[in-house]
Each structure stands twice: as structure tokens, then as C-alpha cells.
Amino acid sequence: MNIEEFRDYCLAKKHVSECFPFDEQTLVFKVADKMFAYSGLEHHPAKVNLKCDPDWAIELREEYEEIVPGYHSSKIHWNTVIIEGTLQNSFIKQLIDHSYAMVIKGMSKKKQKELGFL
């Protein structure tokens, strides 16, 4: 998956916006103003950071060399994933979906309902 495909997949999700809050190279995706994915556009091959359940994050790091503890983020809740490598696009989409769902799950029930997630 290249960075354009990654961007398109993220933006197709409900209530997602993109921005560059840190610098001109770090593309951030938010669901209702909560970050669920980001990428330093200067990296080749392309890498993205995705939120992840802490237990699953460890399993993924042990199983895939393309998945490592989150760069410049909480190593407990974030993984860095090389998306321009050997990982299947369907698997990368699963990781994006999981990150998106983790952020929504962390919102209050009131906010989830307000956004149409409940």
C-alpha cells in the first residue's frame, strides 16, 4: 500500500479529517478531533503510526518485522507499520480499522451517539 492509498482509505471513514498540526511533513488523521493515524511523509518506504490494543500490539511486533513500537509516540498504545513492504493491503486496512475503532471506543457514549456510532 502506498501513502496515497493509505490516505484515501483513512479519509473514506466517517468523521475523518486530515491535518498537519506538528510540521509540514507529518500527516495526521483524526476521527472527531482524536488522532488515530499519522505518517511522516519523508519516510521511504512509507511508514504510518496506528493506535493498537496493547496486548495485540506486542503480538504484532513479535510476528511481523514491519511492525515496531510507535515512533515518537507511546510504545504501549501505538505501532509504526511499514506499509510499503510485504504486508498485504487487506491486513494494513485491518490495522487502520482497529486504530479507528480504538479511538471511537475511547470516546464517551454521549459523543459516540452524537456522531452516529451507537
pLDDT digit string, tens, across residues 48-102? 999 999 999 999 999 999 999 998 788 889 999 999 999 999 999 999 999 999 9
Beta carbons of 104 and 112 less than 8 angstroms apart: yes
Establish if 43 belongs to a structural domain: yes
Q: Which structural domain range is residue 55 located in?
A: 3-108
User: What's CA 109's distance to the chain center, in Å?
Assistant: 22
Is 56 within the bounds of a domain?
Answer: yes
Domain assignment present for 19: yes
Cα–Cα distances in angstroms (integers) from residue 15 to residues 5, 34, 58, in the given order: 18, 10, 29
Domain count for the chain, please give it. 1
* 118 in a structural domain: no
In a domain, 12, yes or no: yes
The answer, as to whether pTM is greater than 0.75, is: yes
CA-CA distance, 57 to 107, in Å (whole number)? 21
Question: Taking all residues of the chain, what is their mean pLDDT, rounded to a whole number?
Answer: 96
* 15 φ/ψ sector (left φ>0, alpha ψ -120 to 50, else beta): left
* CATH assignment at residue 29: 3.90.1150.30
